[in-house]
């Protein structure tokens, strides 16, 4: 089971927040499992950090090499992902989260999240706070 981090989970990871549960943290670090970070999450954090909604210890740009060094893989948005949005029911209003769902469905990934609205989609999830 390969993972896709929801944006808030990535923020918790970067902040070393206790909100990210020990089970989820261990699953993300588990050997033999790929953990992906979507370019959508980098985009969303960039917007939120610019508006001071998100505070990181260093600029996001400086965290990217650290994340790659920790074994995270980048997941770019493809045409397939964008087209998969057409098939999603309008459960969630957040376009970033909707794209993460489309990516997870397209790539057969499990989303690590604490967002209950994402659980309403036909996608595997893992509780980030557990």
The enclosing domain of 111 has a CATH number of 3.40.50.1010
Domains: count for the chain: 1
The model carries a pTM of 0.95
3-state DSSP helix/strand/coil % of the chain, to nearest 5: 50, 15, 35
Residue with tokens 């400086």: 62
Give, for all 130 residues of the chain, the pLDDT tens digit: 999 999 999 999 999 999 999 999 999 999 889 999 999 999 999 999 887 788 888 899 999 999 999 999 999 999 999 999 999 998 988 999 999 999 999 999 999 999 999 999 999 999 999 9
Q: Which domain holds residue 90?
A: 3-127
Among residues 85, 104, 100, the alpha carbon closest in space to that of 43 is found at: 100
Q: What is the length of the chain?
A: 130
**15 Cβ neighbours under 8 A, 6+ residues apart:** 55, 56, 57
């Amino acid at each position: 089971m390969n993972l896709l981090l929801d944006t808030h989970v990535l923020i918790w990871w970067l902040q070393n927040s206790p909100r990210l549960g020990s089970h989820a943290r261990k699953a993300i670090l588990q050997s033999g499992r790929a953990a992906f970070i979507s370019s959508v999450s980098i985009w969303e954090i960039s917007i939120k950090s610019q508006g001071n909604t998100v505070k990181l210890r260093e600029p996001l740009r400086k965290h990217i090499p650290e994340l790659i060094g920790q074994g995270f893989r980048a997941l770019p948005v493809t045409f397939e992902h964008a087209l998969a949005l057409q098939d999603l029911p309008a459960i969630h209003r957040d376009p970033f989260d909707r794209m993460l769902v489309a990516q997870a469905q397209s790539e057969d990934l499990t989303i690590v999240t604490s967002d209950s609205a994402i659980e309403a989609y036909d996608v595997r999830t893992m509780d980030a706070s557990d």
